[in-house]
Structure 1
């Protein structure tokens, strides 16, 4: 298997996490994997940084620092690389639409395209229309039903579509660390209730709502783990303006260390708004599949999340989470208060989420996508 990936590495973005975790999972299932990446700083240990085992080969190709140029050039170079090594692998898996276009339309390489967002411009639409019916496009996977429906409406043959939500490494959360021990390890208050959010803090992630929630629940500490410094500074200023002092930003945390913060929490929150975005500003409330969602479930802590369509594909109100109205401070306040006040109810939700997430490991995602093609 060749995986063609072109994420921005060492940036805190979810795309790089996804690529490394998928390669790790394929290797765990006995598949020989070669990951093609744009060139990166070899002074950093990529396996250690992303918390994956060095069980697959990484090959780097020349690249540009500019994100768009990196994606395009890596797709082109990877296509030629795999063309000349075509006999050494069974198929290619990629999130790179340029690679998919060249590999299927020109080089006859058996390819699976793994889509995580809609087509971004007219060029992407033309590329998609060129390869969607190709016999060399073996499958077309999406990370949510909502996204799959978007591509079906664009003419993707239904028989090619596989819906495979993102996943989680369960072993990262089964480390025998109690809530109290986790708090000690990350330096959080051992006595106060803690509500935690992890991940990027792009527009629409609900951080401004969470600041207003913290103003209503001053006896609780709110911890935001991750985010770009520019975004964090903006929200820090907002919290200061509103005199909210029970709000903590950790700044960037390596993904391998995020689990300790989640395990230290009393409640895990996803306050997404109805206009939540992914990197680049694309509104994603109907199709996203947040990695944090599955990590929250694996943490066995009560989850309070807004009921946007993408979240409701995985979480069910009063079964494995409390789902609240998007864009509403009062709904978030009431949801958090409820799972804290009704301890047994919160524990039941957390346990059910932990049971449910076993269907969403990275290995299970690989099985859904590859099916009988390789396994």
Structure 2
């Protein structure tokens, strides 16, 4: 089928929403669908030739950038995108924008709307209510039960079971096949050979950078590997690390997505040190509904996971696949990490269990479930 994917993400970008959109579209393409992506013209580099490696995709994406004026709140972009989708001959509209989903239904398209956070802005609730009140073939995906509950509360609606489905984020399992052992990965990356604790992703407020820093101070014989982050944030933390004379912290900065699995493989333990309050790249509060892609990557990497104990995280992980700690509780994190670093058997057991669970969350199987009964 021809699918027009209308995304509000900046492409290319290192933000999670940009990566998720590209991976979701790859999943659709892998199923044999023809997918064309429409994205806002907010970048200087619109050369698609490098996007395949940048996002770790198997095929070069078909993408078209369209005008988007900030003052118009994406409405001009949505109108342009739907006009282009018609010319493209789209059979399904797949979007991350409620206003785009409403327009798609009003023009007769079967519509998939992905939601990853609560509605925002003055008209967010109105658009989502309009989506469910509009006739037509539709399906909304939410990443967690917690998010479904939040959206029902925000809109004061009870979503029909068949039109609102829980669909967590995913992982490209092929990228994690036949990973090297931690010592082998460290050798390939020219990292010092010693026990390593890893973290991958951006360091927005609530993502635990301060906790990572304090843990590194408490475990001077263990290497701490931080992968990702924008240049300004990374440089700030490099200065703090140097001031504290920490010799056991490696901050890589941005790493292309297809190389992230190797860095994750270099660690014996992978951390998700979220706080009680977590900000998305947009600044929106998401701690109550968070469903991070790094969680599925960590699982696929087959490494022991230590995570902040948040209800939405427990929708995926369990005591058999992760160690949970109270958010921001340095003493509990210290105790849990010390115990894991001393217990190789437990690390391997947790990693094996997580890896087995990851099999349920491929991008391809996710795409199949989203379009089940439609294609």
Q: Is this a same-fold pair by TM over 0.5?
A: yes
* 1:62 maps to which of 66, 76, 87: 66
What is the distance in 1 between the residues matched to 2:149 and 2:345?
38
* 1:189 maps to which of 166, 187, 192: 192
- Structure 1 counterpart of 2:181: 178
1:225–1:55 CA distance, 2 compared to 1 (3 A):
closer
Equivalent position SS for 1:122: coil
* 2:55 maps to which of 50, 73, 91: 50
- Asked whether the 8 Å contact 2:216–2:249 carries over to 1, the reply is yes
Shift of 1:228: 1.1
- Structure 1 counterpart of 2:251: 249
Cα deviation digits, residues 83-110 of structure 1 (max 9, x gap)? 445xx333111102231132223x2222
1:152 aligns with 2:152: yes
What is the distance in 1 between the residues matched to 2:116 and 2:158?
15
Shift of 1:69: 5.9
1:135 aligns with 2:135: yes
1:264–1:68 CA distance, 2 compared to 1 (3 A):
farther
TM-score of the superposed pair, with normalisation by structure 2: 0.92
1:125 aligns with 2:135: no
Structure 1: segments with no counterpart, 5+ residues: none
Shift of 1:270: 0.6
Shift of 1:256: 0.9
What is the distance in 2 between the residues matched to 1:82 and 1:23?
15
- Asked whether the 8 Å contact 2:278–2:285 carries over to 1, the reply is yes
- Structure 1 counterpart of 2:336: 335
Structure 2: segments with no counterpart, 5+ residues: none
Cα deviation digits, residues 317-370 of structure 1 (max 9, x gap)? 2x0011111111111111211222111111001000000010011112112221
1:89 aligns with 2:94: no
What is the distance in 1 between the residues matched to 2:22 and 2:271?
25
Shift of 1:42: 3.6
What is the distance in 1 between the residues matched to 2:71 and 2:312?
27
1:347 aligns with 2:351: no
RMSD of aligned Cα (Å): 2.0
1:37 aligns with 2:39: yes
**For structure 1, which segment, 294-303 or 107-116, has the greater mean C-alpha deviation from structure 2 after superposition?**
107-116
Cα deviation digits, residues 131-166 of structure 1 (max 9, x gap)? 222122511111111111112222152321100000
Equivalent position SS for 2:165: strand
Equivalent position SS for 1:251: coil
Shift of 1:244: 3.3
What is the distance in 2 between the residues matched to 1:313 and 1:255?
25
Cα deviation digits, residues 43-78 of structure 1 (max 9, x gap)? 45211211112265x1414324x7776844332211
